[in-house]
Amino acid sequence: MKHTLSILLQNEAGALVRVAGLFSARGFNIDSLNVAVTQDPAVSRLTLVMHGADESVDQLIKQTRKLVDVIDVSHPAEELAA
């Protein structure tokens, strides 16, 4: 199933690599990726699209939240369904 995640992270060198590395280490391929700075120049928003089973994506979201550079992770489609 296709999933779109929105991740707020610290706008620091290497933050994107750490997030992408987590996905790669867990065997997830990122289909598309967009990163842009927010109104707060210290925070960037990472929007990515990926495929995976719902249970696996939930676990991946929990692991992403544990990364030091990550401020918040949201899965907008899941929030609309809830």
List, run by run, the mean pLDDT of 10-residue segments along the chain (82 residues): 94 92 92 95 95 89 93 83 64
Range of the domain at 34: 2-78
Structure tokens at 28: 């997830």
pTM for the full predicted model: 0.87
Q: Which residue has the tokens 């719902």?
A: 54
What's residue 82's pLDDT? 63
What's residue 1's pLDDT? 87
What's residue 79's pLDDT? 67
Overall number of domains in the chain: 1
Nearest Cα to 51, choosing from 18, 26, 15?
26
Instruction: Write the CATH number for 55.
Output: 3.30.70.260
What's residue 45's pLDDT? 96
Q: Which residues pair with 72 in a beta bridge?
A: 8
